Structure 1
Amino acid sequence: MKAIVQERFGPPDVLQFVDTDLPHIGPDDVLVRVHAAAVNPYDWHMLRGDPYIALLIGGVGLTRPKQWVAGVDGTGRVETVGSRVRGLAPGDEVLGWFDGAFAEYARTTAGRVVPKPAGLTFEQAAAVPMAGQTALRAIRDAGQVRAGQQVLVNGAAGGVGSFAVQIAAALGAEVTGVCSTRNIELVRSIGAAHVIDYTAEDFSDGRVRYDVILDNAGSQPLGRLRGALTPSGTLVFNAGGSPGHLLGPIGQILRVAALNGLVRQRLRPLPTAWTREHLLAVTELVEARQVTPVLDRAYPLADTAAALRHVEDGHARGKVVITVT
Structure 2
Amino acid sequence: MLFICEKVSYHKHIVNHQLKREVTEMKAFGYTKFGGPEVFETIEVNEPEISAGNQVIVETKVVGLNNFERSQRAGMFGGSNFPIIPGRDLVGEIIQVGADVNDFQVGDLVIAQGGPSYADKVVLTTSHIVKKPGNVSNEDAVALVTPGITAYNMLTQFTEVKKGNTVLVNGASGGVGTIIVQVAKALGAHVIGIASSRNEQLLKDLGVDEMGFYDQEDVGAKFANQADVVLNAALNGNNDALIDQVVKPDGQAATVGQGAELPNKPRVNVEHVHPLSATINHKALTELTQMLANGDVKVNIFKQLPLTLQGVIDGHELLESSHAPGRIVLVR
Structure of greater relative contact order (alpha carbons < 8 Å, 6+ residues apart): 1
Residue 15 of structure 2 corresponds to none
Report the aligned-residue RMSD: 2.2
Mapped to 2, the partners of 1:290 and 1:39 lie a distance apart of 23
* 2:231 match: 214
Give the structure-2-normalised TM-score.
Answer: 0.82
Question: Distance between the aligned counterparts of 1:176 and 1:259, measured in 2?
Answer: 20
Q: Answer with 292-301 or 72-81: which moved more.
A: 292-301
Pair 1:285–1:207, CA change in 2 (3 A): closer
Aligned partners of 1:321, 1:313: CA distance in 2, in Å? 16
1:5 aligns with 2:30: yes
CA contact (8 A) 2:58 2:124 kept: yes
The Cα shift of 1:9 comes to 2.5
Q: In structure 2, what is the Cα distance between the partners aligned to 1:45 and 1:219? A: 15
Cα 1:200–1:219 change in 2 (3 A) is: farther
Q: How does 1:1-325 map to 2 (within 5 A)?
A: 1-28=26-53, 29-50=55-76, 54=77, 60-61=78-79, 63-64=80-81, 68-205=84-221, 207-208=223-224, 209-217=226-234, 218-239=236-257, 252=258, 256=260, 263-273=266-276, 274=278, 275-302=281-308, 303-323=311-331, 325=332
Could you tell me how far apart the structure 1 residues matched to 2:177 and 2:203 are? 9
Pairwise CA distance, 1:278? 1.5
Contact 1:103–1:301 (CA<8 Å) still a contact in 2?
A: no
Asked if structure 2 preserves the Cα contact closer than 8 Å seen for 1:39 and 1:320, the reply is yes
TM superposition shift of 1:166? 0.3
Change (3 A) 1:35 1:21: same
Q: CA separation in 1, counterparts of 2:173 and 2:239?
A: 20
Q: 1:177 to 1:318 in 2, by over 3 A?
A: farther
Is the 8 Å Cα contact of residues 240 and 262 (structure 2) preserved in structure 1?
no
TM (norm. structure 1) is 0.84
Q: Tell me if the contact between 1:25 and 1:82 (Cα under 8 Å) persists in the aligned partners.
A: yes
The runs of 5 or more residues in structure 1 that have no matched partner are: 55-59, 240-251
> Match of 2:32, as an amino acid?
E
Deviation string 1:203-244 (CA, Å, 9 cap, x unpaired) is 2236433221111115454133211211112221013xxxxx
How far did 1:18 drift? 4.0
Q: How many residues align?
A: 298
Q: Is the 8 A contact 2:94 2:106 kept in 1?
A: yes
% identical aligned pairs: 28
